Structures are given as C-alpha cells and as structure tokens.
Structure 1
Amino acid sequence: MAGYIPVRIEIATWMAPKPQAILTLGGGEKREMFAAEFAQNHPDLKIWISSGLEREKAEAIFRAAKIDLSRVHQDRKATDTVTNFTTMLARFEQEKINHIYLVTSAEHMPRATAIATMVLGSRGIAVTPVTVPSVAEAESPWRTVRDVIRSTIWIFTGWTGAEYRQDYQVTQLNDQLFGAETTHEPANTEAVNTINEPR
C-alpha cells in the first residue's frame, strides 16, 4: 500500500493537473468565508462543503461573495475528519473528479491532508491543500496517527469507527487522549443543494 497510493495520486495528477473542485471541511465560519473568497478566483469549480454551517449562514456568506449558489453543495453525512472524506468519495467518483482543492484551517490541515492522502489517494484522487490562516494551537500529532490508522482500516474494510463517537465514555476517553474533535455544525437537511444519500 505504501507504493500503491503514491502511484495512484501520481496518475490522478497526470490526468487532472489542476484541481477540478473545491472541498471545504466544516468547523467554523472562517473556513466557509475563505472558501467563498477562494471560489471567486475559480469560477468554473463546484464547491463542496462537508458538514458545515447552517443553510442561512452559508447562503449569506456565498451571496456576499457573489458566488452562484448553484455551485455550492453541502453534504451533512460527516461526523468527524475521517468521514469528511469517506462520505464524499462516492460523489467525487460520480463526478469523475481526480483532483481537488482542500480548504481547512491551518491547525487542522496536517491531519486533514494525511487522511485525504489515505482515503482519497487510495481511490485515485489527488489533493492540493489551501490553508485558512488561523491562530489556533496546533493539533497533537497523535490525532493524526490515530486517524491515519482509522483511514487504513477503512481502506481494507470500509469501516471508519465513527459510530463509536455516539458512546459518551468512548468520546470522553478519545478527547482525553487526543483532544476534542473539530466541532461540526448540527446537521441541517435544508442546506444549500444539500446531499444526504445513503452511505
């Protein structure tokens, strides 16, 4: 697998030298404001937001940036960073996307990029990081290790372990060991171009 994923990413980059879509990970208003500004310079790209803001807030941000809302697609299935990618994979494959821009905060980007490399890279999708400036403290590297392990398990089994987040004791232990997960906004099924397909 160590050689397989880099080869798939290399092929994806050759097939699509420039990113074909923008993926923004939910976790705060600044990320979507940044994504809206970034999208102004890439008018031909669709914008995907994984578990982001509520419909009204998202609409206001993208309207203010004069982004056509038909470009904005919000997906509500993710509950953490690993599932930000596993839940979007089928959509990207359906759209024949081989290369994406990945938008998230500076403190979150190392872990997000590591997961994306495993999850998306294993399916032949390359990632170009676009970092949202942040003054937040850097995440523990152990969280990246944990989620790379989860991503590896997912590659072979299709299982993310996200369901255990619903167990309070497991969540408490996880937060004590690795720190709390980046907050995702509550699901809203009336979001802009909301997608909520079966996994």
Structure 2
Amino acid sequence: MVSQPDPLQRPPLRRVQGRSSKRRSRRPRPSPWGLVALLLAGGFLWLSRGWWWPAPPPAQMILVLGGDLAREREAAALAARRGLPVVVSGGSNPEYAHWLFEQRQGLPSHQVQLDYRARDTLSNFTSLVDDLRQARIRHALLVTSSDHMDRALLVGRIVAGSRGIHLTPVPVSCGDSCQPEGRRKVWGDGLRAALWVLSGRDLKDWAAARLPGQLGPAGGH
C-alpha cells in the first residue's frame, strides 16, 4: 500500500535568488544647484527684512572698513563732526589709529574701538554684527572706498540687515588708485553672505568645491 503525502505537511520554502518582481525605486540624488537655489530663496526672504524694517533712527555709530588709510581719515573727521562712536574693522596698526583718532582729531579713547578679527569683506561684518545688535545699534554709517562700496554695501545689507541694522553708505574717493570690482566678485561675496545668514558659517570652501568658477577670487578689503 502506497502511503499518501500528508496535505498538512508543506515542503520547506526555498528562497529563489533573482530579480524581485518589483524594482526598488532609487531616490534621485539631490542636486547641489537645487540646494543653493533653496538657500538663496530662503536667505533673501530673511535678509530683506533689513530693507522693509521700520524707518531706522538717526545714525548711532560709524563703521569703517580697513584696507585704505583714507577711509580711516574720513571716519575720524566724520566722528569729530558728528560726535559718533567709531568701530574700525581690520584697519591700520594701533599706533597709527590712536594717533589719528585721539591726537590728530582729539577724540576720547572710549569713542574709538579697533577690531582686528576681520580677514576680508564678509568677516568685516560677521565678526561684529552680533556685538552691534547686543549694543542695540540699528543704524550705522558705512565708510569705505568708493570702488569697494558696492560689494561692501551688498554684503553689509545682507549680514547686518539680517539683524535689523540699517547701513548708510559714506564712500571715500579713491582717485587715481580706484580699481573697479567685477560683478562676479560682488555677487560672489553676496552669495557667501546669504549662506552665512542661513548657516552661521562662511561656506566659501564648500561652494568653491561644488561651484568652480562661479565664486570669484576671495575678495579682500
């Protein structure tokens, strides 16, 4: 008599190696350009509040960007006329600055602050902006050379504008030594400023690796 297989006993299942009937969908890798566009859109929405903020009070201080002694001389004369405090970012050596502001213009030492943390135009603002906000500064006169003003004002209005600080330009004539800056250099630093507002960091190295040629050479003062 032939035994019948027990219907309750199923043969062991075997795993068959092969392609699944459903292909796993691969997630597309995000494009760095899409990330940059998103950062820019959000950044400019945020930074624009410095432009539509309520009307600022009269100027409360003078911010002079180092890189040319003529800027410091103009700021010293302006401070003497207006009686405003001065912050010099990345300027001349302390000996010359003390002579110019205190001895030549007769300003008291407490009216002048020398700050040497800045390395370039962006850090002129990022190194100081939170200190200015804590001091309740809402309006500053920005002193720099006329050929540097476009880039400095763009960066400053992004960085300082993100903290609600208004900047009024005071260009200093550069005469025969003027070196007009290209649009790439101006907007390259503007992009760095927007990324700093969003991330709190200078992403120049990150951007240079992913956007070669888009950011001009790092601008000085």
TM-score (ref. length: structure 2): 0.70
Deviation string for 1:109-142 (max 9, x for gaps)?
Answer: 0000000111010111110000111121211121
Residue number in structure 2 paired with 1:20: 60
- Aligned-partner residue type, residue 38 of structure 1: L
Matched, 1:11 2:48: no
* Distance (whole Å) between structure 1 residues aligned to residue 197 and residue 217 of structure 2: 25
Q: Which runs of 4+ in 1 moved over 2 A?
A: 1-12, 177-183
Post-superposition offset of 1:180: 6.8
- Higher RCO (CA-CA < 8 Å; seq separation 6+): 1
The answer on whether the counterparts of 1:140 and 1:179 sit within 8 Å (CA) in structure 2 is no
Post-superposition offset of 1:89: 0.8
Residue number in structure 2 paired with 1:52: 91
The Cα RMSD (Å) is 2.2
The answer on whether the counterparts of 1:102 and 1:129 sit within 8 Å (CA) in structure 2 is yes
* Distance (whole Å) between structure 1 residues aligned to residue 171 and residue 99 of structure 2: 22
Matched, 1:74 2:114: yes
Residue number in structure 2 paired with 1:181: 219
Unpaired runs of at least 5, structure 2: 1-41
Residue number in structure 2 paired with 1:197: none
TM-score (ref. length: structure 1): 0.78
Q: How does 1:165-180 map to 2 (within 5 A)?
A: 178=216
- Aligned-partner residue type, residue 90 of structure 1: D
The count of residues paired between Structure 1 and Structure 2 equals 170
- Aligned-partner residue type, residue 70 of structure 2: K
The answer on whether the counterparts of 2:57 and 2:138 sit within 8 Å (CA) in structure 1 is no
Aligned-pair identity (%): 32
The answer on whether the counterparts of 1:9 and 1:125 sit within 8 Å (CA) in structure 2 is no
Unpaired runs of at least 5, structure 1: 165-169, 184-199
SS at structure 1 position matched to 2:82:
coil
Post-superposition offset of 1:87: 0.5
SS at structure 1 position matched to 2:97:
helix
2:158 to 118, 134, 140: 118
- Aligned-partner residue type, residue 105 of structure 2: A
Deviation string for 1:78-108 (max 9, x for gaps)?
Answer: 1000000000111101110011000000010
Residue number in structure 2 paired with 1:96: 136
* Distance (whole Å) between structure 1 residues aligned to residue 67 and residue 166 of structure 2: 22
Which structure has the greater CA radius of gyration? 2
